[in-house]
Amino acid sequence: MTGPSTPQGGGGIASGGEGSPGRREGCVAHDRGSQEAGRSAAPDRHGSRPSAPGGTGRWLPWRAATEEALYGAQGFYRRPEGPAGHFRTSVHASALYAGAVARLLCRVDEALGRPRELGFVDMGAGRGELGAGVLAALPADVAARTRAYAVEIADRPAGLDDRVEWRAEPPERVRGLLFANEWLDNVPVDVVEVDAAGTARLVLVRADGRERLGEPVGGEAAAWLERWWPTAGEEGLRAEIGLPRDRAWAAAVAGVERGLAVAVDYAHRADARPPFGTLTGFREGRQTAPVPDGSRDITAHVALDACALPGARLLTQRDALRALGVTAGRPPLSLAATDPTAYVRALAAAGEAAELTAPGGLGDFGWLIQPVGIPHPLGDGDTENATEYGTEDATEDGTEDATEHGTEHGTEHDETCDGKQGGQYDGKRDGA
């Protein structure tokens, strides 16, 4: 992470790296969009939440409190055990995930005309597992041209592939793929709640989790709420102001000179915002109250539709991974008779694919796909349920001229990527 001002998670750039909602192992409730997920406790008649006797500390807006709790000197993402002691993400569920990202990188490589240097940026890289897995899954000729960056605030872990460059800040002028797996959900946001008069007010919190209502929301934050998450003036309704995430994503995309930027996270859209928000915590593999004391991850779902820039596409992880060749189909029983070992491997892979694409679980993640000067690498017909954003602007940002460099990413080069599913690597966030 680059520090509290531009969190990077996984922590890394604000945890995106990979720490977020329902990906946590051991969580019974994967739907953080449920009505009570964002509430630390029922409010008392004064508008604040109860806490343990003797609660002390400064009253801070949730955004400031979360930044300190996650990325401060004693923050969660600086703890010695790392996020691995608390949860896992798609990256850790299966090497199939890194293999799919490697195939996506191959498509970007084709769209760029196979440049001499191909960039791969893992935002909020955690312990660098995704970058290492992608390099292991790439064909040798592509891997030889790939420069992989892991963007993370924590120190470089021992034993990480030497080809992965460890950075606290993302590189500039990247030509390739920037991939933010569960990064944006850990970019801290302010929480608001509607008071008895129908006014949306900032929710203030202490380090022990006690809350009270603060000042009315105004300025750009109020404008964002009105546009993206109107609360209708009903007492008790809550929302999370996603403006810092919109800006963080725009800054990340700005670092891509040409290629693709992808954000993957638990998300919601404007027509289905959760009425009480999604703020929650995770510790030791279990969902907990979001207490900003540095002992747990604090996260909230992302309004990816608000983050989207012109020309973006938003779809589910299920659809994205299927478009990249990850399917949960069972291998034919005849294979068990001719090659039992291959059958067992194929059956295991099918089970892992099922987890990655499962409805109600990892398959419901949102993928925000943002081309920069190239066509959509998943093609026009791969995703039935994709939502386009600002497609009328697609040719104005250079997308059209990418065809001059061979953007038909067809199957030939993709098939070489399909031949490898990625190497083995230690799980980064295996929940206890």
Q: Note the pLDDT tens digit of each residue in 240-275.
A: 999 999 999 999 999 999 999 999 999 999 999 999
- In 3D space, the residue among 104, 130, 120, 38 whose CA is nearest the CA of residue 317 turns out to be 104
pLDDT of residue 82: 53
Q: Are the C-beta atoms of residues 270 and 254 closer than 8 Å to each other?
A: no
pLDDT grade for 81, boundaries at 50, 70 and 90: low
Find residue 256's DSSP bridge partners.
174
67 CA to centre of own chain? 17
Q: How far apart are CA 93 and CA 130, in angstroms?
A: 11
Q: Are the C-beta atoms of residues 73 and 235 closer than 8 Å to each other?
A: no
Q: Please identify which residue in the block is written with the tokens 């195939």.
A: 103
Measured over the CA atoms of residue 138, residue 362, residue 90 and residue 421, the dihedral's sign is: negative
Q: Is the pLDDT of residue 80 over 80?
A: no
Three-class SS state of 167: strand
The DSSP code sequence of 346-401 is: HHHHHHHHHHHT-TTTGGG-EEEEEEESS--TT-SSS-TT-EEESGGGGGGGTTGG
Ranges of beta strands (E only) in 187-316 are: 190-194, 200-205, 211-216, 238-241, 256-265, 280-283, 286-288, 297-299, 312-316
Query: Averaged over 61-89, what is the pLDDT?
Result: 79
Q: Beta 190-194 vs 146-151: how paired, if at all?
A: unpaired
Q: What is the pTM of this model?
A: 0.77
Q: How far apart are CA 373 and CA 180, in angstroms?
A: 19
pLDDT of residue 5: 36
Tell me which H or E stretch contains 42: none
- pLDDT tens digits for range 369-382: 999 999 999 865 44
Q: Which residues have a Cβ under 8 Å from the Cβ of 338 and sit 6 or more positions away? A: none
**132 vs 32, residue with greater confidence:** 132
Query: Averaged over 91-100, what is the pLDDT?
Result: 82
In this structure, of 291-295, 334-338, 341-345, 387-391, the range with the lowest mean pLDDT score is 387-391
The DSSP code sequence of 391-409 is: GGGGGGGTTGGGGGG----
Find residue 261's DSSP bridge partners.
178, 370
What percentage of residues in the chain have a pLDDT greater than 90? 53
- In 3D space, the residue among 111, 107, 98, 183 whose CA is nearest the CA of residue 148 turns out to be 98
Q: Is the pLDDT of residue 113 over 70?
A: yes
The torsion angles phi and psi of 399, rounded to 5 degrees, stand at -60, -40
Considering only the C-alpha atoms of the chain, give the largest distance between any 2 of them, rounded to a whole number of Å.
72
Q: Is the pLDDT of residue 428 over 60?
A: no
